[in-house]
Amino acid sequence: MDSTTECIKKPLSVLSALFAAVVCVFLAVALREIPDEPGGLTAAAAAEIPRSGVEHPVTAVLLNFRVYDTWLEVGVLLMAAMGMLLFQRRSDLRDIRLMPSPEPVLHWLVRLLFPMLVLVSGYLLWMGKFAAGGAFQAGVVLGSGGVLLWLAGHPSLTNFPGRLFRSLLIVGFLSFLLASIANMAFGQAILAFPPAYAGTIILILEAAATLSIAATVSALIIGLQPVVRDRDRAPIHVPSD
Amino acid sequence: MSETLMPLAILLPFVGSLICFVSRHRVSVFTGCVTALLTAGTIGWLTYDVAIHGVQVYALGGWSAPLGIHLRVDGLALFMMIMSAIVGVAVTFYAVSYFGEHDAQEEKRGAELFWPIWMFLWASMNALYLSGDIFNIYVILEILGLAAVGLVALTGRRAVLVAGMRYLLAAMAGSLIYLLGVVLLYAAHGTVDIVLLGQAIEPGATAMAAMTVMTAGLLLKTAMFPLHFWLPPAHASATAPVSAILSALVVKASFYLILRLWFDVFHATITLEAGYVMGALGTGAILWGSIQALRQARVKMMIAYSTVAQLGYLFFVFPVSADHDAANAATWISIAGQGSLYQALAHALAKTSIFLSAGVLLHAAGSDHIDHMRGLAQRLPVTVFAMALAGVSLMGLPPSGGFVAKWMTVQAVLAAGQWWWAPVIIGGGLLAAGYIFRILRPAFSPADVQEALHPVPRSLELCALGMAILSIVIGLRATDLLDVLLIGAPFAIQAGGAL
Amino acid sequence: MSQYQFYSLAGMVLFALGLHALVILPHILRKILSINIMAGGVFLFLISIAARNFEDFPDPVPQAMLLTGVVVALSATAFAVALARRIYTVTGRSELDEEDRVP
């Protein structure tokens, strides 16, 4: 990890720098031709907002016009969670040791603050309809709460049994899938939300995605900790200095 | 019902993947097999539907482009999906026995996650072929890359992890470089829909830059020479079913995308020079890949380098189609396109067969060193026969699928007056014969010592043999498949879609 | 030079810097960071496109693409870090060397 082992080969470095410079100039030339006018799909999106079920244009694009992208994006997140479980040879987080909690104040404070985080997360989720916000922001706040709980010596995700833990990881992706299947059953195009219910459907999908994002984000952090084979062993004693 | 077939081909494997992820191992295996058959059935039905009704467009969420995302199926997309389905079903059934054999706990953890990740990968491939939106394709490429690396790292051994890391870095960088091109195109034309972009594009610095970066990023993901550095270790160190999936299908997905972009988006921008660069890369791949394959001591490493070489043949469609102003160009562009895609299919089947055979070999003899192949023809006759048949297709001998593909490609380059590619294509066949005989000769020579072989489940050998036979048979029934390919494809002559 | 062009150009420079770093730095974490810098460059370009001379509201489509792209980049980074961590546990090394190339 230290800098002495890092040997950068001189000729390669010069070549690569030259190449990068050429790429940069090439792209800069291409930039000059791009029209400097408000093009794009601003007007097209604005015209369809009333039918989208939300009021904020970005949320309308993200969760209605291009919701397919968002669904697959939740899929990438799920893939990352599967990768972590695969690399760490785990099927859940139960064999991860609890952080010892040498600081009773921290232990207490986190327990007090966690409900606040849940509240903030819920607010962010709900706000996505009118302003910048939404599932991802809400999920990350909630997920950070999960990490914080675990850091302060509370069990959090490490107490979830395998099946439940994995269900939590997939619930976001699954909700979009179920919505699509329901669309098919009603003979609609998949991921089509009837304008009257669009707002509600989007909120449900976002809530499910928030749960999955929170679980994934905290699992990605907690899951990289070393395994304790003997689950009954007491938390490792931290020597005081 | 028929309009839901397109999304169904994506949804089904996703459903299978989620069930596999939360279920016990035995349930996952069953779900995997059922999902594979259902998905293949859906694609078969879709083929029938497209053959009757022609090209189909599906507006997701009911929003039409440019605001929404379109799914679109034509002969080209369908051909790739059929290829994935054939290989997918074979690999799925092979994997049932293959992963059923492992009993070590560590290996088992990996085998459990094979099913959800493989189903996810398959769904994302179908999604890629059906997508009509270049930004959407970026997200799919990322899923595809992560899933492929996950499969490589399945066993968790040292070599696999390092190879997987190289692969991951190449895949991530490749998709970002591609994304830069997507942004350039959106900046210039205000849409990311393939059809709309194809109508809006005009020659200029922006289009040229977008074409260059998107092609470069995808070449890195296709492992095209000289950007192939990550492929041989990753494909050679993965488990047999995974190697087959990667070599046969995953690298072709990004090749498909290059083809789609050149024909459907950048057709007005392509210059003859750009085409020649691609042809030169193809030549380099064939020569370098074959020579490296001749030098390898391990069967799987040799097959992996053979993939580098065989990918080269796919690229002669680009120089030929770049010469689109000449008279009769449409005819030879069409032949070149068909030759290239047929090569993709023939290689997919043959390479699946050889990698699956190599898995049998590893399982039986515990090693895939070429020296350990001595006398195997008597002891594993089915597997050696499968390897020989697949080898015939790789060499391009008649009547195999590989022969039809290479024959069409040679015809196209000669008709286009670019005769200099022809010796490369023919010479590549000779080099392929060289490395195939390196494994067949010891197999047919008598063994000095008879080491005990680990018993091999018959189903493993039969999956490999089935693919090998198919790689020959498609040479005899080429016209049927090529008819599918030509439905609304960019290089169909009658549609006037040729460059 | 208009404001949007300045940001776009900065994005291109970041992209090229990331590319250079990705090629020359052997440490895996640094390679992952380089890719993130490349991603940052592309995202800056994307968002500058949305904001060029807008009237009421900047183009929402690139903004949505950016949000999607950020999550995708985050997921891929987490995946890569998990793999890097595993490599460190198994081999005790955190660099990609020439010797590893042929197993």
**Residues B430-454: tens digit of each pLDDT:** 999 999 999 899 888 887 767 778 8
Binary contact (C20, A7; C-beta < 8 A): no
Chains touching C (3+ CB pairs < 8 Å): A, B
**Residues C21-77: tens digit of each pLDDT:** 999 999 999 999 999 999 999 999 999 988 887 777 888 999 999 999 999 999 999
Confidence of residue C5 (pLDDT cuts 50, 70, 90): confident
**Residues A32-51: tens digit of each pLDDT:** 888 777 667 888 898 999 99
Chains touching A (3+ CB pairs < 8 Å): B, C
Calculate mean pLDDT across residues B96-108. 69
**B437 in contact with A at a CB cutoff of 8 Å?**
no
**B164 in contact with C at a CB cutoff of 8 Å?**
yes
The answer for A 2-31 residues in CB contact with B (under 8 A) is 26-27, 29-31
Calculate mean pLDDT across residues B391-397. 93
Binary contact (A6, C75; C-beta < 8 A): no
Confidence of residue B105 (pLDDT cuts 50, 70, 90): low
- What number of C-beta contacts closer than 8 Å exist between A and B? 145
Confidence of residue A230 (pLDDT cuts 50, 70, 90): very low
pTM reported for the whole predicted model: 0.94
Confidence of residue B1 (pLDDT cuts 50, 70, 90): low
- CA end-to-end distance (rounded Å), chain B: 35
Calculate mean pLDDT across residues B343-368. 92
**Chain B interface, mutation test: which of C29, C70, C72, C74, most B Cβ atoms within 10 Å?**
C72
Kindly list the domain boundaries of chain A, sorted by start residue. Answer: 46-222
**Residues C89-102: tens digit of each pLDDT:** 888 888 886 554 44
**Residues B21-61: tens digit of each pLDDT:** 999 888 999 999 999 999 999 999 999 999 999 899 999 99
**A144 in contact with C at a CB cutoff of 8 Å?**
no
Closest chain C residue to A12 measured between Cα atoms?
C24
**Among candidates B59, B61, B153 on the partner chain, residue whose Cβ is nearest the Cβ of A64:** B61
How close, in Å, is residue A52 to chain B by CA atoms? 10
Confidence of residue A3 (pLDDT cuts 50, 70, 90): very low
Binary contact (C90, B138; C-beta < 8 A): no
**A19 in contact with C at a CB cutoff of 8 Å?**
yes
pLDDT for the residue numbered B88: 97
Confidence of residue A6 (pLDDT cuts 50, 70, 90): low
Calculate mean pLDDT across residues A158-169. 88
Confidence of residue B498 (pLDDT cuts 50, 70, 90): very low
**Residues B275-311: tens digit of each pLDDT:** 999 999 999 999 999 999 999 999 999 999 999 999 9
pLDDT for the residue numbered B499: 36
* Set of chain A residues whose Cβ sits within 8 Å of the Cβ of C68: 62, 66, 69-70, 73
pLDDT for the residue numbered B230: 94
Confidence of residue B371 (pLDDT cuts 50, 70, 90): confident
pLDDT for the residue numbered B283: 96
Binary contact (C103, B173; C-beta < 8 A): no
How close, in Å, is residue C76 to chain B by CA atoms? 7
**Residues A54-94: tens digit of each pLDDT:** 999 999 999 999 999 999 999 999 999 999 999 988 878 88
**A190 in contact with B at a CB cutoff of 8 Å?**
yes
**Residues A118-141: tens digit of each pLDDT:** 999 999 999 888 877 789 999 999
Nearest to B249 by CA among B346, B143, B348: B348
**Among candidates B60, B62, B116 on the partner chain, residue whose Cβ is nearest the Cβ of A82:** B116
Higher per-residue pLDDT: B212 or A4: B212
pLDDT for the residue numbered A102: 66
% of chain A with per-residue pLDDT over 70: 87
* Set of chain A residues whose Cβ sits within 8 Å of the Cβ of C78: 80, 84, 220
pLDDT for the residue numbered A238: 39
Calculate mean pLDDT across residues B195-206. 92
Confidence of residue A17 (pLDDT cuts 50, 70, 90): very high
pLDDT for the residue numbered B493: 62
Q: What is the mean pLDDT of chain B?
A: 91
% of chain B with per-residue pLDDT over 90: 75
pLDDT for the residue numbered B480: 84
How close, in Å, is residue B186 to chain A by CA atoms? 7
Statement: residue B268 has pLDDT above 90: no
CATH class held by domain C3-96? mainly alpha
The answer for A 147-206 residues in CB contact with C (under 8 A) is none
% of chain B with per-residue pLDDT over 70: 96
**Residues B131-143: tens digit of each pLDDT:** 999 999 999 999 9
pLDDT for the residue numbered B109: 67
pLDDT for the residue numbered B108: 65
Statement: residue A2 has pLDDT above 60: no
% of chain A with per-residue pLDDT over 90: 53
pLDDT for the residue numbered C102: 42
